[in-house]
Amino acid sequence: MENTIKKKRILQLNIREEYVLLLRILLIMILFSISRMAFFLINKSHFQDISFTHLLELFAGGLRFDLSAIIYINSLYITLYLVPANFRYNNGYQKFLKYLFFITNGIAFVANTIDFFYFDFILKRSTDEEFMFAKEGNILKLFGLFFIDYWYGIILWSGLMAVMIYFYNKTKLKKPEQTSMTYYFSGIFWLLVTIYMSVVAMRGGFTRTTRPITLNNAGKYVNKPIEMAIVLNTPFSIIRTINKSPLKLKHYFSDEELDKIYTPVHKPKPQGKFKNFNVVIFVIESLSKEYTGVFNKDLDNGSYQGYTPFFDSLVLQSKAYVRSFATGFKSIDALPSVTTSIPSLVTPFVLSNYSTDKIKGLASLLAEKGYETAFFHGAPNGSMGFDSFMKLAGYQKYFGMTEYNNNKDFDGAWGIWDEHFFQYFAKELNNLKQPFLATLFSLSSHHPYQIPEEYKGKFKNGPLKIHIPIQYTDMALRKFFETAKKMPWFKNTIFVISADHSAMKEHPKYMTSVGRFSIPIIFYKPGDKNFKGMDSTTIIQQPDIMPSILHLLNYDKKYIAFGNDVFDSTAVHFTVNYLGVYQIIKGDYALLIKDDKTFALYNYIKDPLQKNNLKEQLPKVQNDMEKLIKAYIQQYNYRMINDKLTIKEE
């Protein structure tokens, strides 16, 4: 009888240990939900049309992803905690476990907290690809500036940590008075049960057919793709994208059918001899279309003035497009799109497993025509891997902070102030042999949204922090053209100006799945009347820049590009984006597709806030757009996976 009572007490002790572990995991679950609520409240402007009932559904769906992330994060802690051995009750061992718990979960809270604010820049949860910035030499300074600006994030994180520490210390393990083989066998049993349940939690389901849940599974709970950021948490997004190869071969169409629907193989039909125009491309950091006045005469009841007076004046002297779009949310999405006509879908091309594929971008093609090519970026050399990619893209020369060689013009965060670097750019172009291709990537209109001391108080205030630095960059652009027009190469040059991506937003029109990608793209050639006019119907995307330039030069050889010549009236003009689901914008419509099925269809012209989902209501429009985007994805995936991005393999 006495032995039976002892065995019962031992079993109860094992259950008590499991109970303490369960309480601690439940504590982190609750804190993750609090973190999700903070994320939602801070970014509420992006989720204005969510009802309370639907918000509860999103939070409930998020529990599945929270549990998966928490078990991943605490897997070592759980294993060490449940080791059925007496030493686990030692004070030193318990202290080690406690700090392991605090550190691992504290890091998870840091990741979630960063996305309280970083979401406004990329409009999705951060993934493994964002960690490429850890390679930046000034990463600690940049993070420091980020947290200075968003100091209340540190307070929120500290609050989460304080609650975690307080309640963790309220749960205590009781050391058994004695142990026996029953205790050890019972401990092994509970360890195995816990491991099994942990695997189930990490995979996201009990059934044998359940595949480990991914970011895509969040789509089950949402009405709009952006809502996936509420369902997900940042640790899960990072864990599930580490070293992933997301592209898979698609077989929607036969090869013959595919090429009839869409092909990236371009066969130019030049009208006349090749034109040796110089080409200068500006990629302006965070130049959202929203910040311009010329494209937004309808905003604020017609009273909106914008923050780019010089750029607006240049638009009126250029070939410009009302329906112009970026392909991604980040700088590393933009450069391949603009310079090689390779969009970043699912994963940025430069961070993907396919970044070593052979490519022939604009620089490579023009170098074969005798062009000298150069890339300019005022950041420290090696920043964001631009120097490596631009070399692969065919640029012969690189001009960064090292070549600029004057640290007194350093902004203290990202690199050389735009005003100084733009002047340096204008003068260095004199040293390039004509014809030349030169691309400049700006940087001052970026967080932490600083401007030089001498300009403080010189620009008008706006509701967004970026409004003042975007005016500073606009001024720098004006001064560049004032200098450039005195140069001998100026009149023989085609200028292209594009943003890299959109940024902070004020108006609901720019918070939709279409508006988030809206940027200006213009073509300007001094004194040429053919380069004037506002096109309000033709869609242009960043990958269209390369084939459009080649058209203007009467380029005559076949090449690969995932964009179209915007000057070709016979081409089908559209843009494709990836925002957790695929989106295609064509004509007046935006179609979103998930798991090969239409998720939503909007007439973004008549319904700019995208409130009326037309899915299944316009079968011809929907079917045509479905075919086009599937053909595009099939071509893209095939060529990326099989290294077929150059014409030689045709």
- Least trusted range by pLDDT, from 215-229, 444-458, 610-624: 215-229
Residues 34-43 as b/e (b if ≥16 CB within 10 A, e otherwise) read bbbebbbebb
- High-pLDDT (> 70) share of the chain, %: 87
What residue type is assigned to position 479 of the chain? K
Query: CA 397, 500, 354: angle at the middle one, nearest 5?
Result: 70
Tokens of 594: 């998930």
* Alpha helices (runs of H) in 350-466, residue ranges in sequence order: 362-367, 386-392, 401-404, 418-428
Q: What is the pLDDT of residues 360-407, one digit of tens each?
A: 999 999 999 999 999 999 998 877 778 878 888 889 999 999 999 999
The pLDDT assigned to 310 comes to 98
pLDDT at residue 46, rounded to an integer: 84
Q: What pLDDT score was predicted for residue 649?
A: 44
Instruction: Write the DSSP string, 214-278.
Output: -GGGGGGG-SSGGGHHHHS-HHHHHHTTTT--------SS-HHHHHHH---EE----SSSPP--E
Per DSSP, 225 falls in state G
Q: Tell me: pLDDT of 45 over 90.
A: no
Structure tokens belonging to residue 629: 């985007």
pLDDT at 436: 98
Give which of 362, 246, 371 is closest to 637, Cα–Cα: 246
pLDDT for res 206: 56
Quote the pLDDT of residue 5: 46
Q: What is the CA angle 621-625-631, rounded to 5?
A: 155
Coil vs helix vs strand at 441: strand
Q: Confirm if 306 and 474 have CB atoms less than 8 A apart.
A: no
- Dist CA 450 CA 208 (whole Å): 54
C-alpha span between 45 and 53 (Å, rounded): 18
Write down the pLDDT at residue 227: 84
- pLDDT surpassing 60 at residue 178: no
Closest CA to 122 of 245, 241, 216, 226: 226
Is the Cα dihedral 279, 284, 288, 289 positive or negative? negative
- Lowest-confidence region among 177-191, 256-270, 566-580, 617-631: 177-191
Nearest one of 308, 304, 305 to 286, comparing CA atoms: 308
343: left (phi over 0), alpha (psi -120 to 50) or beta: beta
Q: Residue 482: in which H helix or E strand, if any? A: helix 467-484
Task: Give the DSSP letter of residue 241.
Answer: T
Domain ranges within the chain, ordered by starting residue? 2-239, 255-649
Give the total residue count for the chain. Answer: 650
Q: Which pair of structure tokens corresponds to residue 553?
A: 């030069």
Least confident of 66-75, 133-142, 240-249: 133-142
State the chain's mean pLDDT as an integer. 87
Tokens 């809502």, residue located: 227
Q: Which two tokens stand for residue 634?
A: 């099939």
Q: Minimum mean pLDDT among 48-52, 67-71, 182-186: which range?
A: 182-186
Note the pLDDT of residue 1. 45
Q: What percentage of the chain exceeds 90 in pLDDT?
A: 58
Burial class (CB in 10 A: 0-12, 13-18, 19+), 613: middle
3-class secondary structure, 186:
helix
Q: Look up the pTM and report it.
A: 0.79
Whether residue 428 is predicted with pLDDT greater than 90 in this model: the reply is yes
**Least confident window among 232-241, 518-527, 609-618:** 232-241
Q: Is 203 exposed, middle or buried (0-12, 13-18, 19+ CB in 10 A)?
A: middle
- Output 43 or 315, whichever has higher pLDDT: 315
**In whole angstroms, what is the distance from residue 502 CA to residue 578 CA?**
14
- Tell me yes or no: is domain 255-649 CATH 3.40.720.10: yes
Inform me whether the pLDDT recorded for 221 exceeds 80: yes
Q: Quick one: pLDDT at residue 612?
A: 94
Q: Which residue has the tokens 């779009």?
A: 325
Rounded distance between C-alpha atoms, residue 301 and residue 426, angstroms: 39
- Give pLDDT tens digits for 460-482: 999 999 999 999 999 999 999 99
Higher local confidence (pLDDT), 359 or 478: 478
Secondary structure (H, E, C), 489-501: CHHHEEEEEEECC
pLDDT per residue as tens digits for the range 267-320: 998 889 999 999 999 999 999 999 999 999 999 998 999 999 999 999 999 999
Sign for the CA dihedral angle at 480, 485, 488, 489 comes to: positive
